[in-house]
A and B are shown apart, each in its own frame.
Chain A
Amino acid sequence: MIPPAKTTPSTNGFPPPRLASARRATFFVLVLLGTGLGTWLMSTFVAADGKWRWAEIGLLLTFVPLYYQLNCGFWTALIGVWLQNQAKSDPTDLWQTISHEPPDAPLTASTAIVIPVYNEDVTRVWEGLRVTYQSLVKTGQIQHFDFFVLSDSDDTNKWIEEETAWLELSRQLGAFGKIFYRKRRKPINRKSGNVSDFCRRWGKRYRYMIVFDADSLMSGSLMVAMTRIMENNPRVGILQTFPKQVASETLLGRLMQFAQSLYGPAFMAGLNYWQNGEANFWGHNAIIRLEPFINHCALPPLPKTVPFGGHILSHDFVEAALMRKAGYAVRLLNTNRGSYEEGPPSLIDTLKRDRRWCQGNMQHFWLLFAKGWHPMSRFNFGHGVLSYVSSPLWLLFLIFSTVLAKFPDLDRLSPAVNAGQLLLVLTGVLIFMPKTIILIDELFTGRLFKPMKLRFMTFIGSVMDTFIFTLMAPVMMWFHSKFVFKIVLGQGVKWVAQRRKLEGVDWREAILTFGEVTLLGLAWGAISWWVGSTFMLWMAPIVVSMVLAIPIAIWLGSGQSGLSWGLFLTPEELEPPSVLSDLQDNLAEVKGRLQMPPEIEKSYGLMQVCLDPYVNGLHVSLLRRRNVKDTREYLDEIAERLVKTGPQGMKPVEINAIMNDADTVTALHHRLWAAGEEELAPFWSLAIKQYNLAATHPFAHLLANKESVPQTM
């Protein structure tokens, strides 16, 4: 007999209210004390004579939010380390609610795993799906899960590749009716619109939805456990795991995953301590209760006329706030293994991602003033805004500092000097102590690695990552400041596919991107020298980082990642979980499989759908028929142009229009095969001759050949 589930007392998923209040009060009192002390020291330092100049006021105004942010990070980490070292488990830990349940007890709910994609690496997405599926099969609970790949891809080649990969993977796994593929014709409201569209169409069929990013990876056992936790805690609306960054190949990627592995668990524990039932949703690697999500979490549009208004880009924070507003908890689940993601490989890719996130977070500013939020949701919005606004604040702080250094208060008294020295020490403690304590904790406890040699290497890695992140910080500050200003001035972001793998950063790209930072660094260096030699020394770390931005970017995006020296190792690199090792094996099998002339390979999907009778049949079968009487003439005209000029002579929007009409795609297939040589563009002549030689199998070129069901062929 299964013992009754142990839920958190009388809360069904919310931490006990008194405990939650006490924790939150403790945290914010500590943060405010730290901020207050810092502000007092700063005001004593800059305005010792009691007279306030404008630059001094500006300096203090920029200092306060920066110091608040610094304190939040410091106390979150410290509390996290303290919690990690408690002998008794945290009473709010949701894992306890399923601890008495046998791991193989049947699930009682159906769950959809949804994977929104936009022009992603098709092989990575579908091989990721394969290992996740197989991991669920091993749990014996696969019958309770369905997979949905929700595509908004507007690159025709990617679209066709997604379709062929869907068919082939479903065939190999015998998973027709378990894995579904849906492509939207118009990507309304981007990713959030894609997920909402799923909810409208199929949401009622499932009790839960686990949202993946295109690069997410989760183990079956974790997903089953998450479903059990949701079943045992009916007031939890969103349960967010801690996705660990894995599979990086560049220095930056490995640094990020090392830092996340080493410092992340303590920060997660600390966050959980003060966020309680009002945590954040990070957009993926989380399970969501669908009924309240559908009923309460549709995103309200922001007024278009306000700066950076319109459609909400960073939907996750808002959905978490809406879920909490509806009376459901949003919880963090302390997960050390089983939830993974990949990160950007280079500094440029990181900045591209940050540009998007920045606009999304800035939009939350307008939601701060909306009525009905839980107060913690407002804090979450505020912290999100501050995470990017802090960069221009830091920039202004440095500008004010430069001005004040040039025009110092001549009658600065000893209390002011003492306050300045104290503030310097305190700031150093706030910046470096969390990492130091976490590192000491690791050296003593060996949470990451048991062998002493590896703990020592972790120590070396930590020192180096501090140095490298210090070099990166001024560059990030400059770009984030630019992003904030551009967004305020109304320059929106484009939706672009993310690059997730090492492709290298060339010098030209780096010079074009970071040249301005180098010039700024040189200029600031000159000004600092003009201000005085002591000030120049103070500014040296920032100035040097800026001047060296170009080589730093190249270095960070390179494959010289320290792996061969045993640096920045993570547990996932030493002992990869089966989902990760299986994925890497499969990706290695597929790599370099397609060998065609470059012009053909570039348009391989398009060529397949036009020439291959099976791929054409698949594509047409998946299209919804619609009435195109009004556009028939136009579609015929552009289809004929595609035959005569090849894809090079077409705009992407024209190719997309063709591909969205079943009759045109069918006719195009026959038109191409029935055309005389002189009617065809050189592309098609070559494609017809090469296709049968290159593609011995119409669907298998993108995926590993890992048949798991008996095949008819």
Chain B
Amino acid sequence: MDAVDVKFAPATGTDQEWNEAYGRLADYFRAYRLHNRLRRTELVLEALRRAAETHAKDPSKKPVFYALEHARAMQREWLNGIYSNLSMTEPQVEASGRLGFYLAGGPTRWPQHFMSTKECPPEMVEAMQLAIRTSGPRLQISKMTPRSMDLGLTHTVEDAVDRFGKQPWARYVILAVFVVAVVGYVYHLLR
């Protein structure tokens, strides 16, 4: 049996760190429900390759960080190509684009075109553009403000309570009168 020729040989970082990066990328792409394992593997390897180059230049951060940064950059690049004719900001493209891919049935219909640098099939682009959703129909603003209401006696009570609140001793007087009245009445019954 011939020896296996290992092509991925990063200049910096430990095996453990690159294994961690590999595992995380594999989980990340599985979260996209890409059941095409070949495509997932291609994407993992490409992100690792790019991460290895970056890590060699700046090893201050861990490979897992660079691997996921490159995966994100690859995705942005891909989505920008698909949504280039729509006036959307980059964050909108990133969020809605991912969702658009899912709703268009991308994970099962076009897995090989996920994050592809080549041109995607027009029906896929069309489906992804159509799939972007909003949560409500176009607004038709109305005014709904309470009409003024004469609350009658309630306003009088409000004023009284205001005045009452400024003299806390009055509450204690009322409470005391009430207690004395109750006690007095019970005494009257019992004597």
Contact = CB atoms under 8 A, between A and B. Distances in A.
B88 to A, nearest CB: 10
30 contacts: A146-B137, A170-B133, A177-B137, A180-B137, A181-B135, A199-B144, A201-B140, A203-B142, A204-B142, A295-B144, A298-B147, A299-B146, A305-B158, A367-B154, A407-B189, A614-B98, A616-B95, A617-B94, A620-B91, A621-B96, A621-B132, A662-B95, A670-B69, A674-B68, A674-B69, A675-B64, A676-B65, A696-B33, A713-B105, A713-B108
B139 interface: yes
Nearest to A365: B154
Interface in A660-688: 662-663, 666, 670, 673-677, 688
Interface of B: 20, 24, 27-28, 30-33, 62, 64-65, 67-69, 72, 91-92, 94-99, 102-105, 107-109, 127, 132-137, 139-155, 157-158, 161-162, 165, 185, 189
A300 interface: yes
A628 interface: no
Contacts of B102: 614, 617, 698
A303 interface: yes
B153 A182 contact: no
A294 B109 contact: no
A451 B69 CA distance: 72
Contacts of B135: 166, 180-183, 622
B65 A674 contact: yes
B145 to A, nearest CB: 5
A691 B26 CA distance: 13
A176 B27 CA distance: 31
Interface stretch (A60-68, A369-377, A640-648): A369-377
B154 A303 contact: yes
Interface in A193-251: 196, 199-205
Interface of A: 54-55, 146, 148, 166-167, 170-171, 176-177, 180-183, 196, 199-205, 294-296, 298-303, 305-307, 309, 366-367, 369-372, 403, 406-407, 611-614, 616-622, 625, 662-663, 666, 670, 673-677, 688-689, 691-692, 696-698, 711-713
A115 B183 CA distance: 54
A201 B141 contact: yes
B99 A666 contact: no
Given A180-B135, A303-B158, A616-B98, 6 more contacts: A180-B137, A200-B141, A202-B139, A204-B141, A618-B95, A621-B92
B69 A371 contact: no
Nearest to B138: A205
Given A305-B165, A367-B151, A371-B152, A712 B105 contact: yes
Contacts of B32: 613-614
Contact of B142 (A148, A199, A662, A712): A199
Nearest to B97: A617
B65 A366 contact: no
Contacts of A300: 146-149, 151
Contacts of B69: 670, 674
Nearest to B96: A621
A177 B131 CA distance: 12
B157 A670 contact: no
B89 to A, nearest CB: 8
A673 B20 contact: no
Contacts of B72: 670
Nearest to A170: B133
Given A662-B91, A674-B65, A677-B20, A200 B105 contact: no
A181 B152 CA distance: 41
Contacts of B136: 148, 180-182, 201-202
Given A369-B151, A370-B150, A403-B189, A200 B64 contact: no
